[in-house]
Amino acid sequence: MQGGLAFTKIVAGGTHTCALTSDGAAYCWGLNSIGQLGDNSLTARSAPVAVAGSLKFTSLTAGAGHTCGLTSDGSAYCWGSNGLGQLGDGTTTNRPAPVAVTGGLHFQMITAGGYSVGQTCGVTLSGDAYCWGDNGFGQLGIGSGPSAPHPSPTLVAGGLKWTTLATGLGQHSCGVTTAGATYCWGDNEYGSLGDGTTTRRDSPVQVIGGVAFAQLAAGGFIGHSCGLTSAGKAYCWGENEVGAIGDGTTIDRLSPAAVVGELTFTTLVAGYRHSCGRTTTGTVYCWGSGRAGQLGNNSLMSASSPARVVGQP
C-alpha cells in the first residue's frame, strides 16, 4: 500500500498498467497517448490515477493500447485505443474514459489482446463467446475470414459453449469449452493454433493431443500459446525460434509440447516471445527470449527451458 491505495488485482498492457482496489475502484498509470488510462485525459501518468466515472469493477483486462472492465452484473466497459473497434462501442473513435460495450450482453469474463492494434473477446453468462475489433487474421473467430474491423461484439462461430478465452499479444485467440476441449483460431503461420498445421483458421479449430487445459495464455506477435492442466503441468505450442515453448528445443511446435523440468505450476503467462510460470512453491520460472532481460535470470541470453528468476528465496 502506498498513498492510501491497496490493490487486490493488477493487469499490464502494452505500455500501461491498471489495478483494482478492494471496493472495485480502478486506477491506471503509464502511457496515455490514446486514453488507455481512462482518466478522461491524454496525459501520461507515473503514479496511479483514478479511472473517470463512478463505475466499480470486478475484473480488468489490458491490451496493447486499451483497457476493459466488468461490473458486478457482467456489463463490459472499455477505454483507450479504438482504431479497429476494439472497445466494442460500435465506433472506431478512441475513448479516454470508459464507454459501454454495445449489445446489452453480460459477461462472466473478458480478455483484451493485440500487439499493435487489438481485439477483445468475452464469454457471456450463458457461455457464448463474442469478439470484436481487429480481424485481419481471422482472430475474432467469426467464420468470415480476414475482414474489416468489427466494432461491436460478434458471435464466435461453431455454436460451442465456453468457460474461458485468451487473446494475448498475438493475432490469434484460444478458448476452453464447457466440455473441457481447447480450441484456437486466427493466425497460424508458426503453429500457434495447435491443430497440427500452419493453416490460418477463421473459426475455432480443436487443439490436438488430447490434453485438457484449465488455463490458457496466448502470446507473441509471431505467435505461441500455452496451457496449464488442472494438475499444474505446462504445455506450449507455436513459434519457438528463441525457446518460448520451453521444451528444451528451438523447433516450432504445431501441437502442445510439454515444458521440461517436471515443474508444477499454478499460473502461466505468455509475452511477445517468452513465457513465465509460478510454481506451487511460489517460485517463478521464465523461458524464451531474454534479449531485454525479460527472463529475470540475470542474463540477456534466451533459454529454451525454464530458468529460475533470481532473487527468490
Rounded mean pLDDT of the chain? 95
pLDDT of 116 > 70? The answer is no
Question: What pLDDT, on the 0 to 100 scale, is given for residue 1?
Answer: 44
Write down the pLDDT at residue 14. Answer: 85
pLDDT tens readout for residues 38-49: 999 999 999 999
Asked whether the predicted pLDDT for residue 165 surpasses 80, the reply is yes
Q: Which domains does the chain have, with CATH numbers?
A: 1-159 (2.130.10.30)
Mean pLDDT of 206-210: 97
Question: What is the value of pTM for the model shown?
Answer: 0.95
For 129-162, letters b (16+ CB in 10 Å) and e give: bbbbbbbbbbbbbbbeebeebbbbbbbbbbebeb
pLDDT for the residue numbered 146: 84
Tell me: pLDDT of 72 over 50.
Answer: yes
pLDDT digits (tens, 9 = 90+) for 143-160: 988 888 999 999 999 999
**113 pLDDT band (50/70/90 cuts)?**
confident
Q: Which of 178, 156, 62 is nearest to 105 (CA)?
A: 156
